[in-house]
Structure 1
C-alpha cells in the first residue's frame, strides 16, 4: 500500500510522502491553492479506505470538484463549519477528530483560514499542536493541516514547532506560477529542509516545473566546488538522518576531521556539550582555518548550555564562522547556516592559538578574597586581556546604614574567575568575561536581594583605578570572609490549574 502523499506530478517521494502518527502543516497564499493541495492529498490517499475531510469557514465543494469520480480514497467523511463557528471548532479539534474518525481511518485533512488563529500567541499555538500530535501518534493517523491566507506571518511561527510537527511547507505565487517551499519535511525517507520547487496547475492537478535558478544542484560533481556541502557531526541534527544528499554525517570530532581537512568551501558543523572541551575545540578550529583557508565555513553548535561570552570569543578568534546557542530549534539552525553561505572568514588568524587560549581562561580562583589579592589578579587580567576578553571591574557603594561586609552576606559567586573584596568601605567586584551591556544582569544574578536595594549604584573602574589600590598600607583590607549560609527555603503556594470548558464540537455537516 502506498503511503499518503501530496500527489504532485514529478516530485520525488521524499518531498511529498507523509508518515502515520504525524502532523503536517501546509500554508497556502489563498483558498484556491489550498484546494489544489487538498485535492492532491486526497488523490495521494487513493489506497486508503477512509479519510476525514473538514473545512472551516467554507464548504468542501471547491476542493472535491477538482477530483474525478475514480480519484481519492474509498470513503470520505466530510464535515464543514460556518465562518462564525470556526474558531470554536479549531479549539476543539483535538476532541472532535477522534469522534469523526473511525477504526479504519488513517488520514484527516483540515482546511481553515489563517484568520481562525487570530488572538493565538505562540505558546497557545504550540500547546494546540502538541495535543494534535499526541492524538495523531496514538491513533497512527496522518493529520494534514491546510491553512490559507497570509503565509508570511504564519510560516515563521511554525518553524519552532518541529517537535510536534513532522513537516512545514508553504505554497505561494512565484514568477507567474507557484513555489512550494519545504521548510522541513520528515517521512520514512528521512528529513529534507529548505528546498523550493516551482509548481503549476495542469488540468486541475499540481505539477512540478524544473526551475534551474530555484532548484540548483546541492552537491557539485567530482572535482568541482563543494560550497553547498555540509559536513557535520551526527549529534548536530539531534538524531535525525541526513537532511538531503548534500549532508554528510560523522561520529565525533575524530570522525569528522579527515573529511573537514579536505574541504575547500564546504560548511563544517561541529558540536560542543561541555565547557571542558573549549580549549581543544579552539585548537581544532585553528588548525582547520589555517590549513583550509578563509572560504570554508566553520560552525559550532552548542548542544548543552556550556559557553560563556569569553568562550564564544575564543572560538570565533580561532577561526569559527558562527556559534549557534544551545536550545536553538533545528529549523532555526538551518536558517542560521544559510547566513554564512557564500561568505569568507574576515578575521585575522593568530600564528599560535595557545596565547589566545590562555587569555580567555578565567583566573583559577573565585569568590571573596583580600584586597591585595584582588588588586593583583584584576591588574594582571586587565593588562593581559586587552581586546581578547572584555571583563568588568566595579566599585559598589553600600546604601546608608549598611556596611560593605553586610552586603557581602547576600553575595553568591558561582562562576569561575569572579572575585569580590572590601576596600575603603566599598564592595569591589571583578567579573571575568562580562560585557559592558551585561553588567546589571550579572549583578542581579550575584546578589540574593535586588542589588539596587543594597547599593547606591556602581562605578566601572579603569586600570589606573585598580593601580591606585596600591596606596599606603593604612588603607583597610578585609581578608577572606566566610561564605554565608544559604537562606532557608521559603514555602510557596500550590497552584491548581483549572481546565477550560470543552468548546462546542464541530458537527455542522453530515458525512457522505
Structure 2
C-alpha cells in the first residue's frame, strides 16, 4: 500500500492516503495554507521515496529548505515555472514530466495559482486531467495538485471530474476557523465523500481541531423538540403547542436556555446597538450548552448589516432570519435547522474577532503603496468571518482620470481606492459578492458600466502587482484634491476655508404701505 498521505493530524487514513497512479487535487484559498499543506505532505514521505516538486507562484527551493533535515523523501527534484509561462507549461505538462520523471512510483507535487486556468494558453481542464491521469496510471506515479486562490468556477468544473480525479478537497478559512471540505477521496483503503472538517494549523502542520477530535455525537435528549422563544418573534401569535415556551424578555429566555442541550432558542433583535451584547451572550450560552443547541436570531426591525450577521453566527447563532420574512416561512426555517450541529470554533477571542470585523479607519483615494499595505493588513488578519471585494476597473478613456475620480464617492470606512497605470483599483470592506452591484451603484454618481470598460474581481491581495504598486509615483496635486473631496470630513473642509460665510447687510429699498 502507498505510504504517501496528506499527513493531516488525527485524520483517518482513508481520508488522506494517496493511491499509486492517482490524481488528487486540493484547492486552498490562501497561498500560505497551500504551502503549509505541501510541506506537511512532503515531510511525511518515507526516506526511500522519490518525489518531484513543481512550483509556480511559490519558490520550490524555499519550500524544500523548510523541511526538517530528518524528514521527507530521500530524493526531491525541484522545478519552478515562471508565471507568464503557466499556460504553456500546463499544455506541455505530460511531455515535461516524461522527461523529468524517470522513476516509476515517483510522487509529484504540483503547486500553482488557480488563475493558471484562466490563462488563454491554458488547456481544457477535463482533457488535461484525463491525459495526465492516463500517464500517471501507466507510470505508476502519483500526482497531488495544490492550487491557491479563490476560484468558484474552477471548483465547479472540478466537481464534475469525479470519474477522472482520485480525490478532491478544499481548504479555506471561514468564521474564524480553518475548514477542510472533502468532496471525494479514493484510496486503497476505500472511498470517502461529502465531509466537512475543522482543522487547526500548528508548528507540525494541519490537524483536526480539538472539537473534531472529541467528535461529539448528538443523541436523543428530552429537550430537542422544545422551543424557547421570545414572544416578540411570533408577532403576537400564541404558542403553537405545549413544546413552545414563551418569554417576554431576552434575559429570562437566555437564563432558562442555560439548562438546555438540544432545544431551539429563538431570540429577537431590533437594534444595531444590541449586536455586540447579544453576541457575547450567545457565545457564553454556546460555551455552556455545547454544539447541539439550535440558536436562531430573528430581525424584528431592519437593523442588521452583513458584518453584524457574521458576528452573531461566529459567536453561536445557527442562523439569522432577516426582517420581512413572513411568519409561515419563519416556521419553515426553524424546521430546517432541526438536527443541525453548530460547527464554528467555540474558542473565540472576542477582541481579535471584533478587530477583524471592525472596518479600518481609512477610506477614499490612497497612494498605491498605502493602498497595498492597507489591503495586505486586512487580508492578513482575516479568518473567514466576512468577505471583501477587491476589483480592478479600467476607465473607458474618454475622460481624464481626474474626471473619473470626481464620479467616485467612497463614504464607508474601509472602502479605499487607488490609481495605478491608468487602472482603478477598488477595495470594498465587508461586501458580499451578491452585494457588489448595489455597492458600485452607490459609489458611482453615474452608471458604473458607463464609466468603466473592463471589470475584474481579484481573488485577493496576492493578485495585485506588488512591485508596480510599491514603485508607483505619487499622485499629482489634483488627485489629492479628489481624495479630499471623497474622504475628507466636514472639519477638514472647514479648515480649507471652503464655503466660508461672510456677513453683509441688505438695504431696504421698498416700503410696503
TM range (shorter): 0.3 to 0.5
TM-score (normalizing by structure 1) = 0.47
Higher relative contact order (CA 8 A, sep 6+): 1
TM-score (normalizing by structure 2) = 0.47
